[in-house]
Amino acid sequence: MNINNILHKNFPNILSFFRIFMTPIIVLLMLEQDIYYRIISFFIILFVSLTDALDGYYARKYNLISDFGKYLDPAADKIFVLSILFALHYILVDYISLWIVLMIFLRDIFVTVLRTVSSKRGFKFKTSRLAKNKTLVQIIAIYIIFLFMILNESNIYIINYSIFYYIMLICLLLSLLSACDYLKQYYFLNKNELD
């Protein structure tokens, strides 16, 4: 098997590992006070987040969906999104509440444990549309918050940062609703087994 075949078969997972690898670099750039570093990190976030859509598309198109990829892809998403949210909290501590970010973090741990327990019992969760939309909304929220922060710090457009709190509440609500959806799946899978 040549290198091109290896890269082709593992390309979706390579993209997931790429998101994980880029996450600490993005966070370090975000934490720099210089506005230019934050602009660079914004565009890197934009580029890296697009790899999430690309890896899924590529895996489906070429029938490269694997059990490992099913765990790696959402894990990469969680590491990427949560790291940026914690960094945004650090930068905008008065406007992005720690409790909201922690609730999203705990939701992700809960769902991961639930999926692991279910897998060991032979159950397989379907990634719901709600869960997919949750990730999309979180990434869009990061775009919006980051863009407005850059515009504000550049004195291009001044915005009241209080709106960030409500944007994060929407993210939290979708996170909790998607967790309930997974819990409902787990309940019915167990119920069907008992029946």
Quick: pLDDT tens for 167-191. Answer: 999 999 999 999 998 888 888 777 6
Note the pLDDT of residue 73: 86
**How many domains does the chain contain in total?**
1
Q: Which domain holds residue 164?
A: 3-194
pTM of the model: 0.89
Phi/psi region, residue 158 (left: phi>0; alpha: psi -120 to 50; beta: rest), is beta
CB atoms within 10 A of CB 127: 16
- The DSSP call for residue 2 is -
More confident residue, 103 or 156: 103
Quick: pLDDT tens for 66-89. Answer: 777 778 888 899 999 999 999 999
Q: How far apart are CA 130 and CA 182, in angstroms?
A: 10
Give the mean pLDDT of 141-149. 93
Q: How far apart are CA 127 and CA 13, in angstroms?
A: 18
Note the pLDDT of residue 192: 62
- The DSSP call for residue 156 is S
* Of 19-23, 125-129, 183-187, 189-193, highest mean pLDDT: 19-23
Quick: pLDDT tens for 36-54. Answer: 999 999 999 999 999 888 8
Closest CA relative to residue 21, chosen from 72, 67, 71: 72
Which residue has 């996450």 as its token pair? 23
Chain-centroid distance of CA 54 in Å reads: 14
Note the pLDDT of residue 194: 46
State the CATH number of the domain containing residue 8.
Answer: 1.20.120.1760
